[in-house]
Structures are given as structure tokens and as C-alpha cells.
A and B are shown apart, each in its own frame.
Chain A
Amino acid sequence: MTIYKTLGLACSALAFSAAIASADSTVRFWYHFDNADNPMDELVANFEAANPGITVEAENIPWNSYYDNLYTAVIGGNAPDAAMVKMFAQPRLIGMGALEPIGERIDAWDGKADLLDNLLDLTKAEDGKSYYLPVQYVVLYLYYRPDMFAELGLDVPATCEDFRNVAQQLTRDTDGDGQTDIYGFGFRGGKGGHDHWGSFTLGREGVNLVGGMENDSAAEGTQFVVDLFQEDKVFPPSAPNDGFQETIGGFKAGKTAMTIHHIGSANGMVEALGDNVDAAPVPSCGGGQWTAYGDESTAVLSSAEDKDAAWKWISFLSESGNNAKFNEATGQLPVTKSDSDGWTLHPKRFVDATVNSLPFAHLLPNTPETSDFVNTVWPVSMQRALTGDITAEEMNAEIAKLFGN
């Protein structure tokens, strides 16, 4: 009898510990913020308080190697349970079998109706399923220095021709030592700079990354960028290698008079320059305007141990209030209608520039090649074109080859 009792107790203890184990789950979440602080702490604390038994381990991965790390972690079997993801990575992640479809969960989720219109359609995969839940968005526009424009009596450029003229005038030696002190435009020649090049090239008639790179319009666009650097010298000499930090840092420090980025930089720029920074949509080039729609979503990875917990966490981030907090940290724009109404985090002029740029904002092609375009083909060929190693046509041919036309 004693044996049975002991056995019974042991079984109960085992069952109890198993129950405890199943109640406690950890969600490993990867994200990338330009901001070096960890603004996720408060959101994590709020989530954990509302969901006892779920622990969130949020890890900020540096942007430059974010996708390298993510892909390698997926293959190595050490992927996070949930992650921040962009549309260009979606086809590749689906191809790797790394994403969990979340369409049914979104349909059953209370926050769905509060999401801005069209965002769920924009982030849908080619196979018609939903793998992404939008968490923030931005649109790229032109930052400029109104004080420098006023000093030289210049207007904000509306076309590529105006842009070139303005950039040439803004490039100046201000102290007479024979050195250029201010450059017209801070061009990002390193990884991520395809958005800058895109604004001067992809809006032109007949130009398209897939099937429209080997024509005269596309060559004109790339040549325009190359000429700005080589002939007009309106980019800083370090432009071929410059990344996010250099272009934004150069603008804040007054080394450049214009650059292209999104609202995520607005508050930092206002902090550095006060009223001496303004924004406008990118110029129209070759008969059309093009700017990048900067999407950002979250996703549950198919390898997540507790998918329910991972979904709870990512949906928490896209809910009214929490989404506002998230975007306060990233400096981008919320995806919920309730948070967007009366959004006061950014000065109005930057929100206006974003809204005015929306009609011609585009996502990069939803194909597996886009990852290579962003990470290697564009930066390498742009740098080679800028430094005269290849021609503008050869650069476009490299891109055309990648996208298979």
C-alpha cells in the first residue's frame, strides 16, 4: 500500500512539474532598431505582466547583419520564435519554410479592424497566405536645410533637373580654404542606399527592376546618379562607402544640405538642427516619381516552440497603445487607426511629407532575388559605377541579370 502511495505521489509530482513547465514559455524575439538603447524593456514588462507564464527575450540585432544572422539562424536550427521582418525577405523566408502562416490568427484577432486599410493586403505573400503582421511603416522623402536654401535663394527641387541645379549651388567652400565644406546631397552608396538610387531612376518611364532595367531611361537614371558624384561632385567623397550612420550624421552635422530618409530620423534631426530641417517629397525624374515604402512587420517563425505565445507577443505589439509605444521607440509611424489619429510624436511637416509621398511609394519586387539585390548586387555595382569601374549601363545590366530578364 505504501508503495502505491509513493508511486501515486511521484506521479502527481511529475504531472504538477509538467504542468508548470507547459505554463512557462519563452518567446525569443529579434528586432533591429537604429536606436542603440533598448526601448523594448517597457513593452516587454507590460506584456509579461498581462501574460503571466510567458517570458519575452527581446534581442536587438544590428541592422547591417540582421538578415545574414536571421537566415543563418534559421538554417542552423536556432531561429528566434518571432522576429521583425521586411517584405523583401518574405519570399526567401517562405522558401526556407521558416514562416508560420498566421492568417487564421489575424482573422480571429480583435485588433484586425483597427489596422490601417490595405496594410494586410500589402504584406500578403504570393501564395495568398498571410505570414506577416504589420507593426510600423515609413515612406522615404527628401530632407533639406531651409536655412541654406533661403541663404542662396533656392526653391525645393521638384524635378531631377532642379535637384541637380540646387545640389550644385549648395555644394560650397564656406570658409575659403579651398576645401568643400558643404555638399549638396548625402548619398548612401553602401548597403541600403538603393532607395536613394531608386528615387532618381525607378520613377522614370519604362523603368522597372523586373523587366525594365536595360533601356535608355534606366541608363539615364543611373547615369544621373553617377554624374552627380563624378562630374558635379555634389556627394561627399566618401559616398560610395557611406551607410545610414554616415549619411544621417553628415546631414545633422551640416556637411550635407539634402539627403533622403524617412520619418524615423526626424526627431533626431530636429534635436540637432531645430527649425533648420524640413522635408518634401523626392523630385520627379524622367516623367515619374518613385520613393520607397518602408514596411516593417513581425512574424512567427515555424520553428517556434510555443506559437501561441509568439503570436500573443507580436499581436500585442500591433495593438492600439502598444503600437504607439513601439513607434515612439523606433520613431516610425503606427499601423493602427486609433494610434494614427492625432499622432503627435513627430512634427507635422514630416508627417505631411510622408503622407504626400504615399501616392508614389512602392515596395521592392516580391521575389527571392530582392534579398541579393539589397545586400550585394546593388551596393557592389553602385560602388563600382560611382568609382568608374563600370558604366551605368553595365550596372543596370547586373541588376537585370539578377532579376532574370
Chain B
Amino acid sequence: MPAQDRNPTNRPGPKEGLTGTRLGRSVLPYAMLSPAVIVTLAIVFLPMLQTAWMSLHDYVLFRPNDFTFVGLDNFIAALQDEVFWISLKHTVIWIGVTIPAQLLLGLVTALLLNQNFPWRPVARALIIIPWALPSVVIALMWVWIYDSNYGVMNDFMLRLGLIEQAMPWLANPKTALGAIILTLTWQGFPFFAVMILAGLQSIPRSYYEAASIDGASTWRQFWHITLPGISGVLVTSVLLRTIWVANSFDVIFVMTGGGPGYSTYTLPLYAFVKARTNLDFGYGSALAVLFTILLMGVVMVYLRRTGKAVQ
């Protein structure tokens, strides 16, 4: 007679049940996570590995059968490439100016939106518009704003007497990158505003009441209550936005295509142009890998330093 037949309820014994539950508990999370993990592996990690593999090869798409292993040649070539260094310099300026500008503007906006005033919900809804618009729409809109013949920017500045001649903002290498940074600052500050506003609303009002009773000035309240209260949100938002801004080139691509010359080239854009327009996927991948390593370095340093500061 089989063992289970002796157990009329067909339940496992106490020891057996415990093992089963334990096994279930240890396997279940993996089973539940595996679809997401498999999809992530397939659409994120596999292309990443493929990019790293391609970066070690001489691979130009219009010679599809020629896939020669060249080791680190593409990386060495990149480090000796003038355009790589120009693009890296622009990427540093791009991140270094855009993120603080967005953060500052977002912080001021959030502090204003946190005050009580009529139509506050409408103002909160309106502020999100730049963030909600597609990048391409924003880029085209700002191309018209900057237009040297018909743009409102020139018209406005000429009327105010700030400039004497209409400026080709996007066609002048001295102003093109700055003009695009201003566009991206306008697009991205609502993200900071919304995140910081959420952080501000989680700070109990009683802290401020206690501080005012103790005679703390508005500035000291901001420094000792508001800033520590939103520091967690700030760290996360800056990190996320740094990664997004660093990788984004759609606005640049639409507004100038990297021009004039190389004056608005950033590393992701250079990698894109090399791979997609010149079809040089080996070199383009090497640029992308180099940029990823650099960005990872920045993110790790940032996390270490801010982690300590927040603690």
C-alpha cells in the first residue's frame, strides 16, 4: 500500500509540511520575480553585453560580413579622437549646468507652490506642462523661439535694448550649447518642483511652529528643517535626473543635430551619430561603453558622498 494511502487527508506530516513550506517560501519569490528578471535580462542586459562585445570589434554595418576582433583598438582610437574630448567637455558642461539650474528653479517653484494662495491647484497643474510635453515638441518650439529672423527671443531682447543685432542663438558656436541648456532646464525643472513639493508636504508643520516659538528666522527654519526634510528626495531626484540628462540627446538632435560643427556634440549624441549615421557600430559602441563607465563612476562617487551627508 502506498504511503499516502495511509494518510486519509493526504496532508503532509508535520516535518514534511515544514520542509514543503520552507521550500515554497524560498522558491516562490524567484518564481514570481523570474518573468520580470527574464524580460529585463533580455531587453536590457543582453543588448548591454552585445554593445560591449561589439565595442571590441571593427564592425561597420555596410560591411555586415566583416566583424573583426580588434581588442581595445576602438577605445584607444576614442581617447585619441579630438571629437571625443570635445564631446566629453560638452557633456560635463551639459550635466554640470543643467542639473543645478533645474534643481534651483525646481526648489524655488516648490517652495512657492507650498504656500497658500488662490488658484494653487491650477498653478500646480500648469507647472507640470513642460515636463509633460514630448521632447521633440519642446525642441521644435524652442527652435522657433531662438530663430534669428522671426524668433520672440531676439524680438524681446532687441526691444529691451539687450542686444543690438538679432542673434543666431543656435547657429553661433558660442551660444548654441547654452541655448539648448536653457531649453532643457525649462523642460526638466517641473520634475524637481513636483518631487520637492512632495518632500515639503511630508514635513510636519509642528516643526516650524516649534522653531518659530524658539525664535528661529525663516532662513534658519529653511536650513535646519526644510533642507534636512527634503534631503532624501533631493538626493534621489538629482541622481535620477543626472542619469536622464546625461543620456538624453533628443532635444540636441532636433535643435541643432550637434552643430554648428561640433559645438553641441555630447558623448551620447556622438555615439549615436557614429553608429546610426556613419553605421560604425564598433566605434559607436566603444563610445557608449566609455560613457557608461564614466557615468557609473560619477553616480558611485555621488551616492557615497551624499549617502554620508544625508546620514
Q: Are the chains A and B members of one assembly?
A: yes
Contact segment of A152-160, A198-206, A332-340, A378-386:
A378-386
Contact between chains at A376 and B278 (CB < 8 Å): yes
Bound form: Cα–Cα A237–B149 in Å: 9
Extra contacts, 16 of them, besides A191-B257, A241-B168 (Cβ < 8 A), are A68-B276, A71-B279, A75-B64, A95-B62, A236-B168, A237-B148, A239-B171, A241-B257, A250-B149, A255-B149, A379-B257, A379-B259, A380-B259, A383-B260, A386-B260, A387-B260
Cβ 8 A contact of A376, one of B63, B148, B171, B277: B277
How many residues belonging to A are interface residues under a CB distance threshold of 8 Å? 36
Q: What sequence of 0s and 1s flags, for each residue 147-176 of chain B, a beta carbon within 8 Å of any chain A beta carbon?
A: 111000000001000001111101111000
Contact, CB under 8 Å: B149 / A241:
no
Give the complex CA separation of A75 and B275 in angstroms.
Answer: 12
**Which of B62, B168, B257, B273 has the most A CB atoms < 10 Å from its CB?**
B62
Assign chain B's interface to a size class.
20 to 34
**A75–B65 CA distance with the chains assembled, in angstroms:** 11
**B285 interface residue (CB < 8 Å to A):** no
Determine whether the beta carbon of B62 is less than 8 Å from that of A92: yes
Contact present for A97 and B64 (CB under 8 Å): yes
Known: A236-B149, A238-B148, A241-B171. A384 touches B262 (CB 8 A): yes
Complex Cα gap A384–B259 (Å): 8
Nearest CB on A from B268, distance (A): 16
CA distance A95 to B173 in the complex (A): 37
Contact call A237/B167, Cβ cutoff below 8 A: yes
Residue B242 lies at the interface, judged by CB distance under 8 Å to chain A = no
CA distance A227 to B257 in the complex (A): 24
| Chain B residues numbered 243-286 whose CB sits less than 8 Å from any CB in chain A | 256-263, 273, 276-279
Chain A residues whose CB sits within 8 angstroms of the CB of B62 once the complex forms: 71, 92, 95-96, 368
Please measure, in the bound complex, the distance between the C-alpha atom of A238 and the C-alpha atom of B262, giving whole angstroms: 16
A236: chain B residues at CB < 8 Å are 148-149, 168
Task: Determine if A72 is an interface residue (Cβ-Cβ < 8 Å).
Answer: yes
> Which residues does B use to contact A, with CB under 8 Å?
61-64, 147-149, 158, 164-168, 170-173, 256-263, 273, 276-279
Chain A residues near B173 (CB-CB < 8 A): 387, 389
Minimal beta-carbon separation of B232 from chain A (angstroms): 42
Residues A75 and B61 in contact in the complex (CB < 8 Å), given A68-B276, A376-B278: yes
Q: Could you list which residues of chain A lie within 8 angstroms of chain B, going by C-beta atoms?
A: 68, 71-72, 75, 92, 95-97, 178-179, 189-191, 236-242, 250, 253, 255, 368, 372, 375-376, 379-381, 383-384, 386-387, 389-390
Interface secondary structure of B, over-half rule: loop
Considering the complex of A and B, which 7 residue pairs feature the smallest CB-CB distances, nearest first?
A384-B261, A237-B168, A383-B260, A240-B260, A238-B168, A241-B171, A383-B261
- B149→A71 contact, CB < 8 A: no
Nearest CB on A from B51, distance (A): 15
Given A178-B164, A237-B172, A389-B173: A71 in contact with B61 (beta carbons within 8 A): yes
A375 and B277 contact, CB distance less than 8 A: yes
Whether the pair A376, B273 counts as a contact (CB closer than 8 A) is yes
Q: How many contacts A-B (CB < 8 Å)?
A: 93
B69 to chain A, nearest CB (A): 20
- A96 engages B166 (CB within 8 Å): no
Contact across chains for A189 and B260 when beta carbons are under 8 A apart: yes
Q: B166 to chain A: which residues have CB within 8 Å?
A: 179, 237
Please judge, given known A-B contacts A75-B64, A236-B148, whether A241 and B167 are in contact too, CB under 8 Å.
no
Across the two chains, which residue of chain B brings its CB closest to A255?
A: B149
Complex contacts, A237 vs chain B, CB 8 Å: 148, 165-168, 171-172
How far is the CB of A56 from the nearest CB of chain B, in Å? Answer: 27
Nearest to A75 among chain B residues (CB) is B61
* A238 and B263 contact, CB distance less than 8 A: no
| Chain A nearest CB, measured from B294 CB (Å) | 23
| Known contacts A236-B148, A241-B256, A95 near B171 by CB under 8 Å | no
A242 to B278, CA, bound (A): 21
- 12 inter-chain pairs at a CB distance below 8 angstroms, sorted by A residue, are A71-B61, A95-B62, A96-B63, A237-B165, A238-B168, A241-B256, A380-B261, A380-B262, A384-B262, A387-B173, A387-B261, A387-B263
Nearest CB of chain A from residue B160's CB, rounded to whole Å: 15
CB distance from A178 to the nearest CB of B (A): 7
Nearest CB of A to B168, in Å: 4
Q: Is the CB of A68 within 8 A of B261?
A: no
Q: A380-B259, A384-B260, A384-B262 are in contact. Are A238 and B165 (CB under 8 A)?
A: no
Q: Which residues in A have their C-beta under 8 angstroms from that of B149?
A: 236, 238, 250, 253, 255
Contact B147 A190 (CB under 8 A): no
A375 to B280, CA, bound (A): 13
Smallest distance from the beta carbon of A259 to chain B beta carbons, Å?
14
Q: Which residues of A contact B148 (CB under 8 A)?
A: 236-238
- Give B272's nearest chain A residue, CB to CB: A68
Question: For residue A93, which residue of chain B has the nearest CB?
Answer: B62
Q: Is the CB of B168 within 8 A of A96?
A: no
Residue of B nearest to A375 (CB): B277
Closest beta carbon of chain B to A72's beta carbon, Å: 7
Chain B residues, CB < 8 A from A368? 62
* Separation of A379 and B258 alpha carbons in the complex (Å): 10
In the complex, chain B residues whose CB is within 8 Å of the CB of A390? 261
Q: Closest Cβ of chain B: how far from A228's Cβ, in Å?
A: 15
Residues of chain A within 8 A of B261, CB atoms compared: 240, 380-381, 383-384, 387, 389-390
The answer to whether A238 touches B279, judged by C-beta atoms less than 8 angstroms apart, is: no
- Return A390 CB to nearest CB of chain B, in Å: 8
Compute how far the CA of A397 lies from the CA of B64 in the bound complex, rounded to whole angstroms. Answer: 29
Docked-complex contact A240 and B64, CB < 8 angstroms = no
Contact residue among B64, B171, B258 (Cβ-Cβ distance under 8 Å from A96): B64
Chain B's nearest CB lies how many Å from the CB of A225?
14
Shortest CB-to-CB span from A207 to chain B, Å, is: 23
- Report the minimal beta-carbon distance from B5 to chain A, rounded to whole angstroms: 45
B contact residues around A255 at 8 Å (CB): 149
B contact residues around A381 at 8 Å (CB): 261
Q: A236-B148, A238-B168, A255-B149 are in contact. Are A96 and B263 (CB under 8 A)?
A: no
Among the interface residues A95, A179, A240, A384, which one has the most CB atoms of the partner chain B within 10 A? A240
Asked if A387 and B61 sit within 8 Å, CB to CB, the answer is: no
Distance (whole angstroms) from the CB of B170 to the closest CB of chain A = 6
From known contacts A372-B278, A387-B261, infer whether A241 and B63 are also in contact, taking CB-CB under 8 Å: no
For the complex, give the distance between the alpha carbons of A375 and B259 in Å: 12
- The interface centre, meaning the residue of B158, B261, B262 with most chain A CB atoms within 10 A of its CB, is B261
Q: Are B259 and A240 in contact (CB under 8 A)?
A: yes
